[in-house]
């Protein structure tokens, strides 16, 4: 079946809802941790469930290279391959067009890449991206798009956005997996008229959900929020809306305030690898010498496995000694932190006090003396 979005209630534009998928139903707004290579770095599927993570994102470009979509298909799809039975979304490779390809590598037909592993020349098209995702058999596939760099001049953004729409059509036509849903992606760079055009035309094609892409690519916060505003008002209310690549608490709040239902970001696991942790009083770096004899948890208000069982001093020791359990404990904590944030936000939407909760959380998060 295709995913179904169920709107429970609004608080302003913020939406409380449920997304029904072939691998279970989850509440929205929801944060998705990223499992680039069919693993959320350092963690097992059981640990993801334990932190309340309801849906995981995995990367088409990376799985195309390793182990290859045919290996995953022979395993019975991505769920079986990685032993994860919850909902799963695959991106399209569009972000890698931004991060790995050069403008001149982008043609109407598709995008040339140099493999980040061995420099081998690769060619990814909308059809190929969809074929790979059909084989990976995620619950939600994404249209192949170009994630436009910021800033982009108007003509470049217009041409790219129009091409992304043509790619979306081609991908939709090539799509062949009745158990999988397909989301369209709104591009348009920083231009309001292009965002409007992209949203309206993408909706006309008819997808199971809509993403807002091209954010978190170096634009300022205000520009990002404007990009959301310029696109989201043209998206249907009966489909899920997904803001791609966003994971900072303040951005999650701003997205939800504007009607976003889903987020993904590598931030919690990337922060963990560098020894950083979210706390209700802002981020801290556990490698800091001041934690050497701090036998309290990362955040005394956190209910995660790391905070219930380990001290800052122990985690600092693990990080200093380059023991991988350190990054693993921080990954558990950081993902739990964002998942719990969405839990609290959902409660606030239900209670009609989303904006109060936002102010309360961010005042403390951004202004604490750590």
Which residues of the chain form contacts with its own copies (CB under 8 A)? 37-39, 41-44, 62, 66-67, 71, 74-76, 81-83, 292-293, 295, 309-311, 313-314, 316-318, 320-321, 323-325, 327-328
Q: In the complex, what is the shortest distance from the CB of residue 351 to its own copies, in angstroms, rounded to a whole number?
A: 36
The answer to whether 91 is a known catalytic residue is yes
| Contact call for residues 324 and 336 (beta carbons, < 8 A) | no
The answer to whether 264 is a known catalytic residue is yes
Q: In the complex, what is the shortest distance from the CB of residue 343 to its own copies, in angstroms, rounded to a whole number?
A: 24
Q: Which residues contact 47 (CB under 8 A, 6 or more apart)?
A: 305, 332
Q: Which of 11, 27, 91, 261 is catalytic?
A: 91
- Rounded-to-10 torsion of CA 332, 335, 338, 340: -50
- Rounded-to-10 torsion of CA 77, 185, 27, 133: 0
Cα end-to-end distance, the chain, whole Å: 48
Query: Among residues 152 and 307, whose Cβ is nearest to its own copies?
Result: 307
Cis peptide before 300 (omega within 30 of 0): no
Query: Among residues 81 and 354, whose Cβ is nearest to its own copies?
Result: 81
Q: What is the DSSP string of 295-334?
A: -S-S-TT--SHHHHH--HHHHHHHHHTT-HHHHHHHHHHH
Query: Among residues 93 and 327, whose Cβ is nearest to its own copies?
Result: 327
- Please list the residues that pair with 124 across neighbouring strands: 111
Query: Among residues 303 and 323, whose Cβ is nearest to its own copies?
Result: 323
Q: In the complex, what is the shortest distance from the CB of residue 316 to its own copies, in angstroms, rounded to a whole number?
A: 8
Q: Which of 139, 230, 251, 264 is catalytic?
A: 264
Q: In the complex, what is the shortest distance from the CB of residue 67 to its own copies, in angstroms, rounded to a whole number?
A: 4
Which positions are annotated as active-site residues?
91, 264
């Amino acid at each position: 079946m295709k995913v179904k979005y169920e709107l429970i209630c609004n608080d302003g534009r913020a939406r409380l809802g449920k997304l029904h998928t072939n691998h279970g139903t989850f509440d929205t707004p929801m944060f998705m941790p990223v499992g680039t290579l069919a693993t959320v770095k350092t963690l097992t599927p059981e640990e993801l469930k334990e932190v309340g993570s309801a849906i995981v994102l995995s990367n088409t470009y990376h799985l195309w290279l390793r182990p290859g979509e045919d290996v995953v298909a022979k395993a019975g799809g991505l769920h079986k391959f990685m032993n994860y039975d919850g909902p799963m979304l695959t991106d399209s490779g569009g972000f890698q067009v931004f991060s790995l390809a050069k403008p001149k590598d982008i043609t109407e037909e598709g995008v040339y890449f140099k493999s980040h592993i061995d420099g081998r020349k690769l060619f990814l098209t909308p059809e190929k991206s969809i074929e790979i995702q059909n084989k990976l058999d995620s619950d939600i596939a994404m249209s192949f798009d170009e994630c436009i760099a910021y800033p982009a001049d108007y003509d470049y953004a217009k041409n790219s956005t129009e091409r992304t729409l043509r790619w979306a059509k081609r991908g939709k036509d090539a799509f062949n997996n009745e158990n999988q849903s397909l989301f369209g992606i709104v591009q348009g760079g920083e231009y309001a008229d292009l965002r409007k055009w992209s949203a309206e035309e993408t909706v006309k094609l008819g997808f199971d959900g809509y993403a807002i892409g091209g954010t978190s690519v170096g634009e300022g916060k205000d520009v990002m929020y404007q990009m959301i505003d310029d696109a989201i008002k043209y998206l249907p209310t009966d489909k899920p809306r997904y803001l791609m690549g966003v994971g900072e608490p303040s951005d999650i709040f701003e997205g939800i305030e504007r009607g976003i239902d889903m987020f993904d970001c590598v931030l919690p696991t990337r922060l963990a690898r560098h020894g950083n942790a979210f706390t209700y009083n802002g981020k801290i770096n556990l490698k800091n010498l001041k934690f050497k004899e701090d036998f309290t948890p990362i955040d005394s208000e956190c209910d995660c496995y790391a905070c219930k069982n380990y001290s800052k001093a122990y985690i600092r020791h693990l990080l200093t000694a380059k023991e991988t359990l350190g990054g693993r404990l921080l990954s558990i904590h950081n993902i739990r932190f964002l998942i719990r944030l969405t839990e609290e936000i959902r409660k606030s939407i239900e209670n009609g006090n989303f904006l109060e909760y936002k102010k309360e959380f961010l005042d403390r998060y951004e202004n604490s003396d750590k």
